Amino acid sequence: MTNGTGSCMCAEAWLAVFKNFLMFLSLCVFACLLWILWLRSIGASDPTRDGTLREPSGCP
């Protein structure tokens, strides 16, 4: 009986650790995707913004 509960507790502990790890991993992936999208939007809009702001006479 004690052996069964011990193994069950061990499995529950591993399951909790696995769930936390999966949650942390998904958060990291989500943050990485947001970071990449933000960098891409900045890279796509920054050069034109800098060009129009710094030298408005050069850009028609």
Q: 1-60: per-residue pLDDT in tens?
A: 455 555 677 889 999 999 999 999 999 999 999 999 999 988 766 555 555 555 555 555
Q: Determine if the pTM surpasses 0.75.
A: no
Parse the chain into domains and list their residue ranges: 1-46
Contact 51, 58 (CB under 8 A): yes
Distance (Å, whole) CA 30 – CA 42: 18
By residue count, the chain amounts to 60
